A and B are shown apart, each in its own frame.
Chain A
Amino acid sequence: MIQFQQVTKRYPGGLEALKGLSMDIQPGELVFLAGHSGAGKSTLLKLIAGIEKPTAGTVLVNGQNLARASRGSLPYVRRHFGLIFQDHKILFDRSVYDNVKLPLDIIGFDGREVKRRVLAALDKVGLSGKEKLNPIALSGGEQQRLCIARAVVHRPAILLADEPTANLDRDYAHDILELFKSFHQVGVTLVISAHDETLMADYGRRILRLKNGQFSA
């Protein structure tokens, strides 16, 4: 489903974030991405979602080479993904409901379906009854859940989560990971990055360890 072949990413200024990475993620797999900050975890996720373009190598998603995807086709590729950002990227000029609704507006769902899906997504992450609030009124953990609801509302095949458990206490982090596990159980492919490996160990899944832009054992 996601395939990297000798992928290198060099940022302007010479910083080499990823060095000749190759990997293969199967459909329905749950993969953890571990490594210290600066190891290249975020860059790797951005390459999968087509947000960044590799300097060299091939990034295949569903057989499509994102390194050569046109500007016009990239938005449609991105709709296969649900993205959970490290900094949440929640919009504070609108309600919780409208935040979750955004991906559906972009795809162009009709009104009744939008409402049904938004309420279902909020229910799934445990934010039922808070749809009219401004996100500023939510706690840090709830904002993380809001971000997850927005990522899953259009039922993507692949979920990419960048440090979803950062800044959360251990119990809350477990709740979030349980939530991801439930998505995994219905067949969603997940790639989750975190710097805290002890959390991942509890789940016994494949862990890809990044160090200085390369996989380490």
Chain B
Amino acid sequence: MKHWFRLHGLALSRTVGALLRHPVATLLHLAVIGLVASLPLGLYLLLSSVAGVTSKMPVEPQLTVFLKPEADVGALRAQLARDGRLAQTRFVPKDEALKSMEAAIGSGDLLAGLPDNPLPDAFVLTARRDVPAAELTRLEQTLLTDPGVDTVQLDSAWAARLEKAIALGRHALQVVVLLLAVALVLVTGNAIRMQILTRREEIEVAKLIGATDSFIRRPFHYSAAIQGVLGGLVGCGIAAGAITWLNPAVGELAAAYGQPFLLALPGPVELAAVCVTTMLLCLLGAWFAVWRHLRRYR
């Protein structure tokens, strides 16, 4: 056990020494890993920030049916009550609509300049969640044929669209993560291959005088793991810096829509996840490069 620790300690100290001896090469490689890691992290933070907002919004399919003044409310209510596609039907008389509008705007005398309440009576319908979008459109068409119905509005359509856009974003994120993961493995594999080439004589001599494959592999694996973790930290730093720089503009844009909204900075969980991921990917690249080189020795 002591022997095992000694071998690892030796490899680790030599690796750190080698990284410090070539500061420019080390920093360049850290920058590459950092940039590669920051891209999916930034995209992930953007998506999770937006998803945080939409989760507060209603996404149940909702229809608002605005009625003409001459509509037969009783008959329509009975017809809607029989419709199996609907989970809930709520009648909103025009007086109630006016009151809630006054409450939302904060003005008590909306009617002051108007001769009459201009708002129509309405039904707010909540469809069952399992009703497909096409069926909702058919329901909308059926309602429009009723002589008492003025217009029908699918309220939740935009929220559903946003949710779909986020789902698309998540898929895009998966593609980006996959591609950049492959890139990271290749970049690190190549960097380790260069390190191997500069130490080729040492590896050859060590193999000849009884070094095991693990002895040869160890420093390269340590090198890749250390650079993976540090590169992950750099990536988090880049993402955090970019978000901090973007956030004032994002806040202003959101404020124009009356929503307080800022992009989230990477937290400890994201930090750990990124560092572990970059470490594992760099290790994979190093493992492959060393394996390829060691194959040539008996």
Contacts and interface: CB of A to CB of B under 8 A. Distances in A.
B211 A106 contact: yes
B200 to A, nearest CB: 11
A27 interface: no
Interface in A55-86: 71-72, 74-79, 81, 83, 85
B208 A102 contact: no
Nearest to A53: B298
Contact of B298 (A71, A85, A107, A108): A71
B218 to A, nearest CB: 11
Interface residues of A, number: 27
Interface residues of B, number: 19
A108 B3 contact: yes
A78 B298 CA distance: 12
Contacts of A78: 208-210
Contact of A51 (B6, B201, B208): B208
A106 B201 contact: no
A169 interface: no
Contacts of A50: 298
B6 A89 contact: no
A75 B210 contact: yes
Interface string A105-120: 1111010000000000
A137 interface: no
B288 interface: no
B210 A79 contact: yes
B201 A83 contact: no
A52 B298 contact: yes
A28 interface: no
Contact of A106 (B2, B204, B206, B298): B206
B210 A102 contact: no
Contacts of A106: 206, 209-212, 215
A93 interface: yes
A110 B207 CA distance: 21
Nearest to A92: B201
Nearest to A89: B205
B298 A110 contact: no
Contact of A108 (B7, B204, B206, B209): B7
Interface in B200-249: 201-202, 204-213, 215
A141 interface: no
Nearest to A90: B205
A27 B190 CA distance: 47
A106 B213 CA distance: 11
A133 interface: no
B179 interface: no
B5 to A, nearest CB: 10
A26 to B, nearest CB: 23
Contacts of B212: 72, 75-76, 106
A45 B154 CA distance: 87
A36 to B, nearest CB: 24
B298 A91 contact: no
A108 B11 CA distance: 11
Interface in B58-72: none
B165 interface: no
B28 interface: no
A103 B210 contact: yes
B10 interface: yes
B208 A83 contact: yes
A77 B201 CA distance: 21
Contacts of B201: 89, 91
Interface in B138-190: none
Given A50-B298, A108-B7, A110-B6, A89 B204 contact: yes
Nearest to B211: A106
Contacts of B7: 108
Interface of B: 2-3, 6-7, 10, 201-202, 204-213, 215, 298
Question: What 6 A-B pairs are tightest by C-beta distance, nearest first?
Answer: A78-B210, A79-B210, A75-B212, A106-B211, A108-B3, A75-B210
16 contacts: A50-B298, A52-B298, A71-B213, A75-B207, A75-B212, A75-B215, A78-B209, A81-B209, A89-B205, A91-B202, A102-B206, A105-B10, A106-B206, A106-B209, A106-B212, A110-B2
